[in-house]
Copies of this chain bind each other. A is one copy, B any other.
């Protein structure tokens, strides 16, 4: 099947670029001697997960219990749920999941959250769950301050709680996306890594093992992997990449493995092409850069921005002299690929210009 036989809007994945991205990140981790535990929230796909594990990933990171359940169903044996699980409904599911996943771990940032998990696990019996303390290295979303008394106390509490095994510390250093250039990005990564190494040392000084020092973001992965004391990286976006990663130098144009194929449905004015990909195909996410432009993606290779998006209409700003007609197809590079994938039930997999498969976005819709 050719690309022409694909109706639009469609999420198209270039298999060759995807494979190269998977292999390159595995090589980065391997060369640095750190574990690679990719965040599967980007792809939510068993097919992509299999590529990652085959290339040497130790396991997967997920954001949701529902995602973990899907990957467990798919046979993945090592899963980190990098999210505090709260409430009896989730804890009952966590216990059931722990019974069938050989290596399951979770992140927590509060003793009370760990205590509730411990109570559920201990009541079930026969389970040991890995736990990581989430550190806030500057994203200011959740997590405890690096090397703080609260962090050490959490590690100590987890260490003595029944059914739990303290594995180490993790962070999402998303603040690095505010870097203006490569030097600032490297510095932000180093600062975050230092904070994590200090955190691990403080925990060890208190007599608690802290084997894992885990960093997570595609933009910082190439810096974090080689930072002394870091033991694991958890990039997600690198499998597909997007405009934000291009801007941060963490992807090249050749590494853009996912685009939204759209059709021009109207030419309302000389400078505008209206395409059938709006916010329900591209999302309303801006680029993850400092002072992001208010746009919704850009045409691949040409760079023409999608300057407005209604739910089902995208308006592409054309340069003078651009020849674009109703019926033409344009590949759009999204600003942020993760929520875009989350809108599609399946991706069309393309190899050398031909659609060779359709992969379900298996964990999409698993809201809880």
Residues of A at the B interface (CB closer than 8 Å) are: 5, 7-10, 41, 63-64, 83-84, 86-87, 89-90, 109-110, 112-113, 136, 140-143, 174, 263-269, 274, 276, 279-281, 283-286, 308, 310-313, 315, 326-327, 338-339, 342-345, 365, 367-368
CA distance A226 to B337 in the complex (A): 44
The answer to whether A263 touches B86, judged by C-beta atoms less than 8 angstroms apart, is: yes
The answer to whether A279 touches B274, judged by C-beta atoms less than 8 angstroms apart, is: no
The answer to whether B280 touches A313, judged by C-beta atoms less than 8 angstroms apart, is: no
A279, closest chain B residue (CB): B339
Number of copies: 2
The answer to whether B7 touches A63, judged by C-beta atoms less than 8 angstroms apart, is: no
A92, closest chain B residue (CB): B7
The answer to whether B87 touches A8, judged by C-beta atoms less than 8 angstroms apart, is: yes
Interface of A is mostly: loop
CA distance A110 to B280 in the complex (A): 24
**Residue in B9, B263, B265, B345 whose CB lies within 8 Å of A142:** B265
A329, closest chain B residue (CB): B87
User: Which residues of the other chain, B, contact A10 by a CB distance below 8 angstroms?
Assistant: 367-368
User: Which residues of the other chain, B, contact A142 by a CB distance below 8 angstroms?
Assistant: 265-266, 268, 274, 313
CA distance A9 to B279 in the complex (A): 21
